[in-house]
Amino acid sequence: MKKTTLMAAAAALALSGGIAAAAIAAGQAPAAAPAAAPAAPPTAEEAKAYVDKAEKDLAGLSEYVNKASWVRATYITEDTQWLEAKAGAEFTDLATGLAIGAARFDKVEVDPVTRRKLDILKRALVLPAPQRPGVADQMATIGSRMDSVYSTGKFEYKGKMITLNDAEDILAESRDPEELKAVWEGWRTVSPAMSADYAQLAELANEGSRALGYADTGALWRSGYDMSPDEFAAETDRLWQQVAPFYKNLHCYVRAKLNEQYGDAVQPKTGPIRADLLGNMWAQQWGNIYPIVAPKTDDAGYSLDKLLVDKGYDPVKMVKTGENFYSSLGFAPLPDTFWTRSQITRPEGREVVCHASAWDLDDADDIRIKMCTKVNAEDFYTVHHELGHNYYQRAYKDQPFIFKGGANDGFHEAIGDFAGLSALTPTYLNQIGLLDTVPGAEGDTPFLLKMALDKIAFLPFGLMVDRWRWEVYDGTLKPADYNKGWWALRTKYQGITPPGPRPDDAFDPGAKYHVPANVPYTRYFLAHIYQFQFHRAACKQAGWKGPLHRCSIYGNKEVGAKFNKMLEMGQSKPWPEALAAFTGETRTDASAVTEYFAPLNTWLIKQNKGQKCGW
């Protein structure tokens, strides 16, 4: 996940900044001031001046907002929550005002660069505030409160209070269905306290979005992809249809294995899978249950978890290894401040947000990560992912302020995931000395199955989180039906079900960080498509002749140089142009996913013979 500003984990896109001063900047009167005479039509010159002033004001506020958010995330107290909320309110006020002011120039003929900047200004905020006194403060306070409720959440288990990190470890390792159910349900006792806050914030954000000319906040979110909101929704449906058959094959195989493990009373042979049995608090990735679903003859020959421990890796060495991957592609080393200012491990004696994120605090060189790193395969991958954000941030630092962001938010998530595709291959592990020998073709099925348990299993979850929020924002789901609607979508897309009836006050969406933190989630679905598109293109550029899943671009500076050209564009051009700069393609295409996993899909179909697949 990328993090650049407070509300934004959200608006990670490009902006960290503001409102009112710039709203007045280009000759625009404050909204409350009565006009003495009809205003003259705005001009192209005024539009250009407006954008220039907006960038100056946004840049001036950016570092203050980012640092207030960093302090709260790495040291949670009532005081730091107050500071973040205050900074966030200033940000929301400024950015909302700028968005409204930018709409004034919708019908003015301006140069393409100014038009693009105006459009970005209009959608700069994930949750725009209504232009009423005190509302931005109110929204910022609610947002910070929900984030902190999540991040400090604990529940009682076996006589002691445990954190989400503790609970995740149990879900990953335990094979006792009663224990899994208790821990899964225990974490979801934290989120009901957010429900009323969430409903209020959604209502206020919708009011702010309508003032900007959008039907609702979901439509605003879908507008950030160089196409209409309806076109974007249809595009995600198209991509899902490309990969859904493979997901259903994986679901069918995993369900059968879980039935063998637990029996009909716990996991029936047909229908949905019980969510708490999948090794992950949100059933979004299933890699932790690989030992249950592994092929009868597992010739993979190694465990990355064990390799990291045996080779003496610690959290800092994990991050150093990630840096070395990017250095091998020709990227400059991370600045010294990265190492002195990042949170790489969970500090003792204070509450922090452990959810991994990458930060750009000054829109220049103060880049950092925030993690509670563990020495395991999951965090080895996460390090490569988060550093991808940082290298992207640094690549576009010389762009104008409004263009400091990913080509779209899916790009930002995909950059590090693309690196991770190389980082998890046995080829790369051998290149960096973690693995002595690369397994032969006999290791392909185990390797691809492990990858699919994370990459393919994630796809429907990556799609449905925002599908739920779109229904909240357009009024399809009322607060009383939030949880019912959540599980309807989880069953529809993922084919999973809770381990037991949910309480009337349950707010299970709030048990996933990105919901209380108001981080749009379709970006992660897109990233899981883009990363394979990037990987396929990079491997072709590198002249790789073997199977796509064995390709590592480690050490290829020619690929790195072309990749960096795309990164340097930021969001200065529509994303199809950025995609073409590296891949030569202008359309998102999930065929790279199916190509990567084709050998596994063939194997799954064979394993599923005689099974009643689907749910």
Would you name the residues annotated as active-site residues? 355-356, 385-386, 389, 413, 514, 524
Q: Tell me the backbone φ, ψ of residue 274, rounded to 5 degrees.
A: -70, 125
Q: Are 570 and 404 in contact (CB under 8 A)?
A: yes
Distance CA 385, CA 219 (A): 28
Tokens of 588: 């998102």
Distance CA 552, CA 200 (A): 47
Distance CA 186, CA 194 (A): 15
The residue behind tokens 């979508």 is 489
Distance CA 383, CA 390 (A): 11
Distance CA 201, CA 142 (A): 7
Cα 538 from chain centre: 23
Which residue, among 170, 352, 282, has the nearest Cα to 510 in the 3D structure? 282
Secondary element (H or E) of residue 140: helix 135-151
Distance CA 255, CA 257 (A): 5
Distance CA 372, CA 370 (A): 7
Q: CA separation (Å) from 313 to 118, 320, 403?
A: 47, 10, 38
Q: 587-590: long-range contacts at Cβ-Cβ below 8 A with a sequence spacing of 24 or more?
A: 588/235, 588/239, 588/526, 588/529, 588/530, 588/533, 589/242, 589/529, 589/533, 590/239, 590/242, 590/243, 590/529, 590/532
Cα 247 from chain centre: 20
Strand residue runs (E) in 461-615: 496-497
